[in-house]
């Protein structure tokens, strides 16, 4: 079997993806299965902090020259992707300014859960990647949202102070950024004391988290009929386009096959944590059924099942692996 099909099969049959599918199935058969809110919040905190800590340790051992160009490329992607997403939604999709900007904000930002699933996939197939990639998540989280809101308001009052404060102090940025700082300051030797918790239990926690994500995503499926074919297509095509850009730019920036895969899937993901919080404040007139359903019920399952191995296959092709 070709390597790309092997990777796809490994991804589809991984415990993480199967747990997500179980969550979807539970909703479809109207099961009373529910992950307690407190457990969900605890798992989210654990996963984000674990990623930050491990990334900080790797960052403490990396040379600035190795990180600088990938970081610059990541910022470029974060600033550029919402611009053409906004234009496509306005001109081809016929969206009003607020809804076009709201959807563009989600596709300009990043899904930390998709990132975690991508790392698990790479570990499963034995593909190494640069340890500092969690820093790229933190860099990609905010710029796309800010650019999209600028496009929406164009100088009008957008509650910028409150919006930026909520973005910077949001759970995902604080945990990833704080974890990076802690891991960087403590280094490999300091992290060794907590490694059994933050490495040994990581995949098991991810399985539980994705079970809940399957439940959440399936509850959004009923909104797909109201979205229209254009937005469903947008939620699949744009992640592929962005993933291709991420892989190509990551390769040019000197990332390995694994690192380019990560940047590709980061660029191809859509936020459903940071972006909704910001959009609710800055664009209350935008429809959550559009931006949340596109990100969570279309793009997230697509990336989880197909997008991640697709980005990896492209990275291998581009780098001759």
**What's the pLDDT tens digit per position in 208-258?**
988 888 888 788 777 777 778 899 999 999 999 999 999 999 999 999 999
**CA separation for the pair 133, 164 (Å, rounded):** 24
Q: How far apart are CA 243 and CA 266, in angstroms?
A: 7
| Predicted local distance difference test score (pLDDT) of residue 4 | 63
Task: Pick the more confident residue, 92 or 63.
Answer: 92
Average pLDDT over residues 44-65: 83
**Domain ranges (residues) in the chain:** 3-20+35-316
pLDDT > 70 fraction of the chain, expressed in percent and rounded: 91
**Per-residue confidence (pLDDT) for residue 314, from 0 to 100:** 95
Handedness of CA 275, 281, 284, 288 (dihedral sign): positive
Q: Please report the pLDDT score of residue 1 as a whole number.
A: 54
Q: Which fold has domain 3-20+35-316?
A: Na+/H+ antiporter like fold (1.20.1530)
Q: How many helices (H) and strands (E) does the chain have?
A: 19, 0
Give 180 or 7, the one with higher predicted confidence: 180
């Amino acid at each position: 079997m070709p390597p790309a099909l092997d990777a796809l099969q490994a991804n589809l049959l991984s415990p993480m993806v199967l747990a997500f599918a179980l969550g979807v199935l539970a909703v479809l058969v109207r099961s009373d299965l529910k992950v307690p809110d407190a457990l969900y919040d605890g798992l989210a905190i654990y996963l984000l902090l674990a990623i930050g800590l491990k990334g900080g340790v790797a960052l403490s051992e990396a040379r600035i020259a190795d990180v600088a160009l990938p970081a610059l490329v990541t910022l470029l992607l974060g600033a550029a992707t919402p611009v053409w997403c906004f234009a496509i939604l306005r001109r081809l999709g016929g969206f009003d300014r607020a809804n076009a900007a709201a959807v563009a904000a989600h596709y300009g930002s990043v899904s930390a859960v998709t990132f975690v699933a991508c790392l698990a996939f790479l570990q499963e197939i034995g593909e190494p990647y640069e340890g500092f990639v969690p820093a790229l998540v933190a860099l990609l989280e905010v710029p796309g949202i800010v650019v999209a809101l600028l496009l929406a308001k164009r100088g009008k009052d957008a509650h910028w102070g409150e919006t930026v404060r909520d973005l910077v102090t949001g759970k995902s940025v604080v945990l990833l950024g704080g974890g990076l700082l802690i891991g960087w300051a403590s280094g490999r030797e300091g992290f060794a004391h907590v490694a059994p918790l933050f490495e040994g239990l990581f995949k098991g926690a991810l399985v539980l988290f994705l079970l809940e994500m399957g439940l959440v995503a399936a509850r959004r499926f009923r909104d797909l009929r109201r979205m229209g074919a254009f937005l469903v297509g947008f939620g699949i095509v744009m992640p592929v386009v962005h993933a291709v850009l991420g892989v190509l730019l990551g390769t040019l920036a000197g990332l390995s096959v694994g690192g380019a895969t990560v940047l590709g899937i980061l660029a191809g993901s859509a936020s459903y944590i940071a972006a909704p919080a910001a959009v609710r404040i800055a664009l209350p007139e935008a429809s959550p059924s559009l931006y949340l359903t596109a990100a969570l019920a279309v793009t997230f399952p697509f990336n989880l099942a197909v997008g991640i191995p697709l980005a990896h296959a492209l990275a291998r092709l581009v780098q001759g692996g």
